[in-house]
Structure 1
Amino acid sequence: MSWHLGRLAGFDTETTGVDVETDRIVTACIVEVGGNTPPLTANWLINPGVDIPEAAAAVHGISTEKAKADGQDPAEAVAQLVAGLTQVVLAGTPLVIMNAPFDLTILDREARRYGVQPLTEVVGDELHVVDPRVLDKHVDTYRPGKRTLTDLCRLYKVRLDGAHSADADAIAACRVAWRLGNEHPKLAELSVAELHTAQAGWAAGQAASFQAHLRKKNPNAVVDGSWPLRPVVAGVA
């Protein structure tokens, strides 16, 4: 059975900002869907321990005050997130993560910040990620326009029940992944391990192409092509 017809686990975070090295997780969701089994959803609201900028709060709707009042201790929540994802991965379920290098890297840095063993160190080569952003760029490389989750949902006729909430985005990413697998037999015929390896190469190529484009105006432009996780930067905490 093709990977897109079995169980999929979506993972998404909403954060204090877009710097994976220094920003913090505010909300997170792990949702398991498909495989002729009822959905399972786990959500976290976290007190990040720092103020949430107004710009970030305007996106996901969580203010500093709400996070302090209702949010979980960050070290405890991060440990639970890693444990939950570990359980999913070791069960053989692919992780569907839109723009995986963001969510996996920020979780990795949070784990290191709180002394939690990072997910990749726990599961090793068992980690298999499906990234709709990478897949879409691969199958439709030269399509103009943005490729946010909202854009992909519109393109692939997928319902998005509230963009920029972790649970809605996680479920929508799974739906887009299913559409991609359903519409592109060459993706569907790959095993999850083969697909994971292929995406690492595709992501690197996509980044190199974008970097070359940027360097037409800025010779020093750099686009990180690491996938699905950015390497640790020494000295950054």
Structure 2
Amino acid sequence: MKLNLKNPLVFFDLETTGINITKDRIVEISLLKIHPNGKEELKSRLINPEMPIPAQATAIHGITDDDVKDCPTFRQVAKSLAEMLEGCDLAGYNSSRFDVPMLAEEFLRAGIDFDMSKRKFVDVQIIFHKKEQRTLEAAYRFYCDKELENAHSAEADTIATYEVLKSQLDRYPDLQNDIAFLSKEYSSFNNNVDFAGRIIYDEKGVEVFNFGKHKGKPVAQVLRDEPSYYSWMMEGDFPLNTKQVLTKIRLRELNG
């Protein structure tokens, strides 16, 4: 089924040095841009993470230090990547928990503000798990009747994710061929204020903490009652995006 798009939709996948968003780095990125008219653009490239790639990471994606030693850093390609993503919605497999937060963190480290409020997100894994409970390889086999070659290659996973979403739309009549519907009904970003979900909106649309001793409390209230909590978070091991969101709330309250 051809996707019904109002905005370009970019399927993407990352390979990284590990799974810690604040400490690890991207080593490969693949993007498949689908335009509303059906035109497809595929771009993949290796990235120098400026840190050693652990053996356990190489065992998964096969990328070594030698493979990336002469490749550009993320900072060097960030501007062109941001331009490719401008005005686009995003889709991926397990992207809401890892790929989107990691990509946003890399953009912020490069000095580029990746604004999530301007785009929609579709996580094909969430649709799959709600419908069938499987892995990407099994999803590809189940929906597309194909074996996924080169699994954990960013490009192979990106293309497979695109094909799986199209097949899901063919298979399930209740899935509307509409990115706004898929994003709202099947994305875990709906209530997130920051990408990592440390701050979320409650049922009244108020920003509240989603972790720790202040879980469920309005962020603005905590910052008023315990000003040192802001400093603790800014000095702690939290994603840059979380710190950015926290600072925006603090400045809004100070200037309100």
TM-score, normalisation: structure 1: 0.73
Question: Which whole-Å CA distance do the structure 2 matches of 1:3 and 1:38 have between them?
Answer: 11
**Alpha-carbon shift at residue 158 of structure 1 (Å):** 4.8
Partners in 2 of 1:227 and 1:29 — Cα distance? 26
The CA deviation at 1:150 is: 1.2
* Candidates 150, 165, 170, aligned match of 1:162: 150
Q: Is 1:55 aligned to 2:56, yes or no? A: yes
Among 133, 136, 145, which residue is 2:125 paired with?
133
The one-letter code of the counterpart of 1:163 is A
What residue is the counterpart of 2:209 in the other structure? none
Write the distance in 2 (CA, Å) between the matches of 1:158 and 1:119. Answer: 37
Return the structure number with greater relative CO, CA threshold 8 A, min gap 6: 1
Deviation at 1:39, TM superposition (A): 2.9
Which of structures 1 and 2 has the bigger CA Rg? 2
Counting aligned pairs with the same residue, the percent is 28
1:187 is paired with a residue whose SS is coil
Q: Is the CA contact (8 Å cut-off) linking 2:11 and 2:161 kept in structure 1?
A: yes
**C-alpha spacing 1:227/1:97, structure 2 compared with 1 (3 Å):** farther
* Equivalent-residue separation in structure 1 for 2:42 and 2:144 (angstroms): 23
- Report the Cα distance in structure 2 between the residues aligned to 1:131 and 1:150, rounded to whole angstroms: 16
Letter in 1 for 2:129: K
| Cα 1:9/1:99, change in 2 over 3 Å | same
State how far apart, in whole Å, the 1-side matches of 2:135 and 2:10 are. 19
In the alignment, which of 77, 91, 106 is matched to residue 96 of structure 1? 91
**C-alpha displacement of 1:25:** 0.4
Hey, what's the Cα distance between the residues in 2 that align with 1:139 and 1:76?
Answer: 40
Q: How does 1:20-99 map to 2 (within 5 A)?
A: 20-33=21-34, 37-69=38-70, 71-87=71-87, 89=88, 94-99=89-94
Letter in 2 for 1:164: H
Aligned pair count reads: 199
Mapped contact 1:96–1:132 kept (Cα < 8 A): yes
For 1:156-235, what aligned pairs fall within 5 Å after superposition? 156-159=143-146, 160-188=148-176, 191-200=178-187, 203=188, 229-231=195-197, 234=234, 235=236
1:217 matched residue in structure 2:
none
Deviations 1:114-154 (A, max 9, x none): 2221242xxx23x12221111112223xx5xxx32112112
Q: TM-score, normalised by structure 2?
A: 0.68
Structure 2: gaps (5+ residues): 199-232, 240-256
Deviation readout 1:98-118 (Å, 9 max, x if unpaired) = 011211000111112222212
